Amino acid sequence: MTVTIRTLTRRSSGRESVRATEVDKTQLVIGRATDCDINLPDLLVALRHARLIVSSTSFVVEAEGDNEFKFNGRVVRRAQAQFGEAAALQFGPYRLTFVAPMGRLTIDVERIEQARTEIPDPDKTFSLRGTWLSKRTTSYVFATLVAVLFLAFPIFTYATHSTQSPISSGRISLQKVKAGEMWSSGKLAGPHQRLARDCTSCHQDAFVSVRDQACLQCHDTIKHHADATRLAKADTPRTPFGSGLRLVAETFDKPAGRCADCHMEHNGSEGVSPTSQASCTSCHDGMSKRLPDAKVIDASDFGRNHPDFHPTIVETPDADAPKFTRVSLTDLDKARKAREQLASQTPQRSCAGFAVGQPNFRGIVHDGGDLPAEARVGDNSGLVFPHALHLDEKGCVAALAQQVTRQAAATTGLSKGPNYGKKLVCEDCHTRDERNVGYKPVEMEKNCSACHSLVFNTGAGGLRTLRHGYTSEVIAALLDFYQARVVSDATRPAMAPEARRRPGEATVQRAVAARETAFANAGGRASNRVQAIFSEGGACYGCHVITPPATPGGIDYRVQPVTLRDSFLPHGVFDHGAHEPGELTCDDCHNASTSRTSADVLMPHVQTCQSCHGGEHATALVQSSCVMCHGFHSTDPAAPVMKPVTTARRQQGATGSMGGASR
Amino acid sequence: MARAGTHVERRRDAKHESFLRHRDYFYLKVALVLCGAFVGVYLFTHPQPRHNGGTWLGYTLGTISALLIVWLTMLGLRKRAITPGAWSLKGWTSAHIYLGLSLIVLATLHTGFQFGWNVHTLAYALMMFVIGSGLFGIYFYATIPSLMSDNRAEKSNLQMLEEIAALDSDLRTAAQPLNEANARLVQNAIDNTKIGGGVLTRLRTTHPRCATARALDELKAVAKAQPRNLGGDGLAQVNSLLDRKMVLLDRARRHIRYRALLELWLYVHVPVTFALLAALVAHIVSVFFMW
Q: pLDDT tier at A363 (50, 70, 90 boundaries)?
A: very low
* pLDDT value of residue A389: 82
Higher confidence at residue A519 or residue B39? Answer: B39
The pLDDT-based confidence of A366 (bands split at 50, 70, 90) is very low
Residues B116, A253: C-beta atoms closer than 8 Å: no
Q: Give the per-residue SS3 of A543-603.
A: CECEECCCCCCCCCCEECCCECCCCCCCCECCCCHHHCCCCCCHHHHCCCCCCCCCCCCCC
Distance from CA of A7 to the nearest CA of B (A): 18
Section A492-505 average pLDDT: 57
Write down the pLDDT at residue B19.
79
Percent of chain A with pLDDT over 70: 84
Are B187 and A43 an interchain contact pair (Cβ–Cβ within 8 Å)?
yes
> How many beta-carbon pairs under 8 angstroms link A with B?
191
Contacts of A547 (CB under 8 A, 6+ apart): A557, A558, A559, A560
To the nearest whole angstrom, how far is the Cα of B122 from the nearest Cα of chain A? 9
ipTM of the complex, rounded to two decimals: 0.86
Measure the CA–CA gap between A405 and A417, rounded to whole angstroms.
7
Find chain B residues with C-beta within 8 A of A190's C-beta: none
Helix-helix angle B119-152:B89-111, to 10 degrees: 150
Would you call A124 and B196 a contact, using CB atoms and an 8 Å cutoff? Answer: yes
How far is the alpha carbon of A143 from chain B, nearest alpha carbon, in Å? 4
CB-CB under 8 Å, B179 with A146: no
Other C-beta atoms lying within 10 Å of the C-beta of residue A545 = 23
Residue of B156, B176, B272 lying closest to A142 (CB–CB): B272
Render pLDDT for B135-188 as a digit per residue (tens, 0 to 9): 999 999 889 988 998 998 888 888 999 999 999 988 888 888 888 888 889 989
C-alpha gyration radius of chain A: 57
Question: Cα–Cα distance between A607 and A446 in angstroms, integer?
Answer: 34
**Closest C-alpha to A320, from A569, A662, A635, A564:** A662
Among A343-347, A579-583, B118-122, top mean pLDDT goes to B118-122
Query: Sign of the C-alpha dihedral, residues A92, A94, A95, A97?
Result: negative
| Residues B4-34 pLDDT 10s | 444 444 444 445 577 788 888 899 999 999 9
Residue range B247-283, pLDDT digits in tens = 999 999 999 999 999 999 999 999 999 999 999 999 9
Per the CB < 8 Å rule, is B48 touching A140? Answer: no
CB–CB contact A271 B49 (8 Å): yes
Identify from A42, A135, A243 which residue to disrupt to test chain B contact, counting B C-beta atoms within 10 A and taking the largest count.
A135
State whether B285 and A151 contact (CB < 8 Å). yes
Q: How many other CB atoms are there within 10 angstroms of residue A509's CB atom?
A: 11
> In chain A, which residue's Cα lies nearest the Cα of B118?
A182
Question: A176 exposed, middle or buried (CB, 10 Å; 0-12, 13-18, 19+)?
Answer: middle
Q: Omega of the bond prior to A548 within 30 degrees of 0, cis?
A: no
Q: Give the β-pairing of A27-31 and A38-39.
A: parallel
Left if phi > 0, otherwise alpha if psi is -120 to 50, otherwise beta: which for A96?
Answer: beta
Asked whether the beta carbons of A314 and A380 are under 8 A apart, the reply is: yes
Taking each continuous run of H as one helix and of E as one strand, the counts in chain B are 11, 0
Residue B2 φ/ψ region, left for φ over 0, alpha for ψ in the -120 to 50 degree band, beta for the rest: alpha
Which residues lie across from A89 on neighbouring strands?
A: A71, A96
Which one of A126, A136, A241 would you mutate to disrupt binding with B, by most B Cβ within 10 Å of its Cβ? A126
CA distances from A446 to A453, A604, B290 (A): 11, 27, 57
| Residue B236 in this model has a pLDDT that exceeds 80 | yes
> pLDDT band at residue A131, thresholds of 50, 70 and 90?
confident
> How many whole angstroms separate alpha carbon A460 and alpha carbon A138?
106
pLDDT confidence of residue B50 = 86
pLDDT at A599: 84
Cβ–Cβ of B53/A33 closer than 8 Å? Answer: no
With residue A138 as reference, give the H or E element that holds it: helix A135-147
> What residues of chain A lie within 8 A of the CB of B275, using their CB?
139, 142-143, 145-146
Residues 6+ apart with CB under 8 A from A473: A467
The pLDDT mean for chain A works out to 80
| Distance of alpha carbon A464 from alpha carbon A542, whole angstroms | 20
Beta-carbon separation of A142 and B281 below 8 A? no
